[in-house]
Amino acid sequence: MTDDHSEDHKGRLDKETGVHTTGHSWDGGSLEELNNPAPRWWVWMYILCTLWAIGYWVIYPSWPVPGGEARGAIEGTAGYSTYKELEKSQAEITARQAEYLGAFRSASYDDIMKSEKLYKFATTGGATAFKDNCATCHGSGGSGGPGFPNLNDDDWIWGGTIDDIEQTIRYGIRSNHPETRFNMMTAFGKDEILEPEEINQVVDFVLGISKEGGFEASAAKHPDGAEVFAYNCTACHGEDGKGIREMGGPNLTDAIWLYGGDRDTVYETVYGGRGGVMQAWTDRLDDDTIRQLAVYVHSLGGGE
């Protein structure tokens, strides 16, 4: 190894290029570094970038300081910070919401239905709250599933006006709230109210209503079942089987089933009863959200 930085190499004029060397040699002789200046454009870029950086430091928050104005950095002459931007746009949103919320709070459901702006405000807020709180049971579009009613159709167990829906949401169904909707399907088999024979008869009659041409036609075909029905079922499902809302007894004459319309499922319902539970939302959601939800559910298609 030779000494790369020896004096006699430094500043040597390279004859072939006419440029001085830096005195830096890799192999002790032939392979040397020429002392070319950096290209001018590069130098200018360098200077410009440096100036830009200095300007940036002055104008925008840059140097970190504990507890600075811009939360951890010096503020800069522009007084700009992304936190401030965020606060500003949040304040705008809150102000816009407050403008709607004030009108929404003092409006009746009638007013809301008549005002395009308030209706949109309610259904938009309701849709979000529905996804967060209700979709787990009722499905994201409210189409339900076995035991969880479809909220899109016009078949309502407990009522489909906005006020009905609000009450259902607020106090729940068979919830632990004192004002809950509470009636439930009796377990006719398990509680030995009916003989298995009678259960089979009434199940055939109930299936016949929707599948064999209606209430009368089924009664003519299954007279024993119709009799069992008249004695045991009309209190909650109505004389005509069309359901009684105050009792929560669903309409048995349509093709819409809460639990299912095949024979085994209907037998199971009559034998063991049901009693699906929906919690009361009055202590979990604020009034505004509950009212938004009521309007939203009503808007899903089947509202009355």
Binding residues (CB under 6 A) for ligand HEC: these are 133-134, 136-138, 147-149, 151, 156-159, 165, 168-169, 173, 183-186, 188, 202, 206, 229, 232-233, 235-237, 247-250, 252, 257-259, 266, 269-270, 274-278, 281, 293, 297
Task: Output the smallest distance, CB 168 to ligand HEC, in A.
Answer: 4
- Nearest to ligand HEC of 25, 186 (CB atom): 186
How far is Cα 23 from Cα 32, in angstroms, rounded to an integer? 7
173: which residues sit within 8 A by CB, 6+ positions away? Answer: 158, 180, 181, 182, 248, 276, 277, 278
- Nearest to ligand HEC of 121, 257 (CB atom): 257
- Nearest to ligand HEC of 107, 173 (CB atom): 173
Task: Output the smallest distance, CB 102 to ligand HEC, in A.
Answer: 24
- Nearest to ligand HEC of 121, 148 (CB atom): 148
Task: Output the smallest distance, CB 273 to ligand HEC, in A.
Answer: 7
Cα 132–168–134 angle (5° rounding)?
15
- Nearest to ligand HEC of 79, 196 (CB atom): 196
Task: Output the smallest distance, CB 146 to ligand HEC, in A.
Answer: 8
Residue 173: Cβ-neighbour burial (10 angstroms; 0-12, 13-18, 19+): buried
How far is Cα 123 from Cα 126, in angstroms, rounded to an integer? 5
- Cβ density class 123-148: b for 16+ within 10 Å, e for less: bebbbebbeebbeeebbeebebeeeb
How far is Cα 171 from Cα 185, in angstroms, rounded to an integer? 19
What one-letter code names the amino acid at 56? Y
- Nearest to ligand HEC of 72, 144 (CB atom): 144
Determine contact, residues 236/248, Cβ cutoff 8 Å: yes
Task: Output the smallest distance, CB 65 to ligand HEC, in A.
Answer: 47
Task: Output the smallest distance, CB 293 to ligand HEC, in A.
Answer: 5
